[in-house]
Amino acid sequence: MPLALFVRGFASLRHRKLNLTTTRAHEIGASLFIMYCGGIASVTVLGTPAASEQLTETVNLIPFRFAYDMFYGCFAGKPAAAWINILGNIALFVPFGFLLSLLWRGASWQKAVLLSAGFSAAVELCQLTQPARMTDVDDVLLNSLGGFVGYLLFRLIKAGTAETFRVTEIKTYTSEQE
């Protein structure tokens, strides 16, 4: 949370320098987005105490291997664990796609998927250095799908709320107005 406040404070100064105005709702939304990203990074990179066991395989670069694992591999006979893994990875990035679309006027489904994939890939690369974490290309694919679902959710409820959160007006200040 302190990082989110610092980043938003810095962004507010930048907005002022560029003569941009913003709304309180936008600032709250942007702060929530920064806290969400920090929370994702801390949970997925640093891990949790329950995830401290050593893994025998720490890197998977084969796309859609989770589908194989559901039926024949590590999740064989444990369909609940497989679905928790799949749905959890999708759900984890739904807020990313939603908040990104809410705050960014130029958001499209392609940008939501690309930025979700980029953030997820950065998290997965950080996990390479952690002994109790697994780097998995399937996580990037599922997280990207979650970003897409978040974008779709935003489009479904866009009605009139999105404009409240966006920077909508550019004001030009002269030295006489200050």
Q: Could you report the per-residue pLDDT of 81-91, keeping only the tens digit for each?
A: 778 888 999 99
Structural domains of the chain, count: 1
| Residue 105 belongs to some domain of the structure | yes
Please name which of 167, 156, 122 lies closest in space to residue 30, comparing C-alpha atoms.
167
Is 171 part of any domain?
no
Mean pLDDT in the chain? 79
In a domain, 92, yes or no: yes
Is a pLDDT exceeding 70 seen at residue 167? no
Question: Is 29 part of any domain?
Answer: yes
Give the model confidence (pLDDT) of 123-137 as tens digits.
999 888 887 778 889
- Higher pLDDT: 172 or 74? It is 74
pLDDT at 28 over 80: yes
Tokens read off for 160: 């009139």
Nearest one of 101, 143, 96, 99 to 121, comparing CA atoms: 143
176 domain residue, yes or no: no
- Give the residue numbers spanning the domain of 96: 2-165
Report residue 164 as tokens.
């409240």
Secondary structure element (H or E) that encloses residue 136, with its range: strand 135-136
Is residue 175 one of the residues assigned to a domain? Answer: no
User: Where does residue 101 rank: exposed (0-12), middle (13-18), buried (19+ CB within 10 A)?
Assistant: buried
Q: Is the per-residue pLDDT at 62 higher than 60?
A: yes
Block residue for tokens 């024949």: 72
Minimal CA–CA distance to 141: which of 37, 71, 61? 61
The pTM of this model reads 0.74
Structure tokens at 19: 């003569």
Return the pLDDT at 77: 74
The pLDDT, as a whole number, for residue 160 is: 58
